[in-house]
Structure 1
Amino acid sequence: MAQADRNYVRSGNKLYRQQKYAQAETEYRKALDKNSNNTQAMYNLGCALLMQQKDSSAIALLEKAGKAETAKKRKAMAYHNIGVICQNHQLYSQAIEAYKESLRNNPSDNQTRYNLALCKRQMKNQKGGGNKNQKKQEQKQQKQENKDKKQNKQQKQQSSPQKAEEKMSKDNAEQLLNAAIQEEKATQQRMKKQQQSAQRRRLQKNW
């Protein structure tokens, strides 16, 4: 039984690297059917859902993986990803809490520490934002910061499937970065259409 769920995880990882995220999702779900306590399958399924922009479902899986995982570094990765999703949706207070939880489990993760500092600044700007010109200037600055942040962030472990001791390949990192850039462009378009509040309510309701 244990071997079966590991086989499904390996199969899912292979599909994930080929950017076949829906098929990878199916394999990870099969692994969880065999072993509902497989935290690796939970985490990887969360990443596969994230890459399909199923953010609220991804958060649910990542939270489950974070709570069930005993290895501190893997637990930290799950909460880091939750923070990234919330930050992209401008849910800054939730993102801050997720990053703090990540750092409790892996205090040496400088990327999470950077994201936390950026998120605090974004929340302060959001609360202090007044006129349209100021908001435009903040959005322009935020867009550049996000681009730099994503370039650094997507080359690290988050949003990549966990494998025993194997690191993500350079090609896969570039593929994930491209996907992240596309997602960032879509997010900026939604911001321009002033739909942030609607998205925020919708995501919280799903939780």
Structure 2
Amino acid sequence: MIRTIVVLSLILMLFVTVGYAQSERKAVRKGNKEFKKGEYLDSEISYRSALELNPASFKGNFNLGAALYKQDKFEESANLYADMAKANTSANANELANVYHNLGNSYFSQEMYEESVEAFKNSLRQNPNDMETKYNLAQAQRMLQQQQQEQDQQQDQNQDDNSDDDQQQDQNQDDQQQDQNQDQQDQNQQEREQQISPEDARRMLEAIQNNEQQVQERVQEEKAKRARVQVEKNW
């Protein structure tokens, strides 16, 4: 009785597994038809349905990445292919070469040329005779070189701008220092002009004294006149 139950359980599990496998393949085939028609969003949905039944499905994941790429979801497709490359290290060389090829395209479309070059090289390590991958690698290398040149030019430009700023700052400091020196010179000149030399001070003192003496003499003369007048008018 127990043996019979075990056998029936195994048969039931086999039928369920076969049913899931058939449903998965059916969903993948449906996605493939939609992909060929250019219905990429619908194909994405179908591939995801297949992956719900079998998350490890190589075809489901690979084709899902292609559907994402066709919708310009380059970052998502790159992440998916990168995960596949890590998880399917034991896959056959041709399958792994295709994964790296599509990974390189996903990076290339994001202008991540250094990562793209490395992905295409990994693809050629698995399939050295793939002419399309060789062409894509050459394109990625050319774009990487151009990108690096532009970055170097931008860096040089930034350095020149910084140098110009430093020169302008130095010039402003020099101008400010010259203005300060000129102000100090003007102030010193004014102080010198305001100062009285000992000779000038002596002359000014003599002039004051002379003026005072003249005033005193005039005062004495006036007193003498008044005295003379009073004497003459003395009744």
TM over 0.5: yes
- Aligned counterpart, 1:30: 49
- Aligned counterpart, 2:71: 52
* Matching of residue 92 in structure 1 with residue 113 in structure 2: yes
Quote the sequence identity (%): 36
Counterpart amino acid of residue 43 in structure 1: F
Name the one with the larger helix percent. Answer: 2
Q: Distance in 2 between matches of 1:110 and 1:74?
A: 16
Secondary structure at the residue paired with 2:128?
coil
8 A Cα contact 1:29 1:41, kept in partner: yes
- Aligned counterpart, 1:41: 60
- 1:108 Cα deviation from its structure 2 partner: 1.0
Counterpart amino acid of residue 89 in structure 1: Q
Structure 2 counterpart of 1:65, from 79, 84, 89: 84
Aligned length: 131
Within 5 Å, give how 1:133-152 maps onto structure 2: none
The TM-score, its normalising length taken from structure 1, stands at 0.60
- Aligned counterpart, 1:176: none
- 1:89 Cα deviation from its structure 2 partner: 2.1
- Aligned counterpart, 1:126: 147
- Aligned counterpart, 1:9: 28
Higher relative contact order (CA 8 A, sep 6+): 1
Q: Which runs of 5+ in 2 are unaligned?
A: 1-19, 155-235
Q: After the TM superposition, which segments of 4 or more aligned residues of structure 1 sit over 3 Å from their partners?
A: none
Secondary structure at the residue paired with 1:107?
coil
Name which of structure 1's ranges 44-53 and 81-90 shifts more when overlaid on structure 2.
81-90
Q: Distance in 2 between matches of 1:5 and 1:65?
A: 18
Q: Distance in 2 between matches of 1:56 and 1:115?
A: 18
Task: Indicate the structure (1 or 2) with the bigger Cα radius of gyration.
Answer: 2
| Root-mean-square deviation (Å) | 1.5
Q: Distance in 2 between matches of 1:32 and 1:17?
A: 20
Deviations 1:45-79 (A, max 9, x none): 00001111111111122223333341221211111
* Matching of residue 108 in structure 1 with residue 129 in structure 2: yes
Q: Which runs of 5+ in 1 are unaligned?
A: 132-207
- Aligned counterpart, 1:76: 97
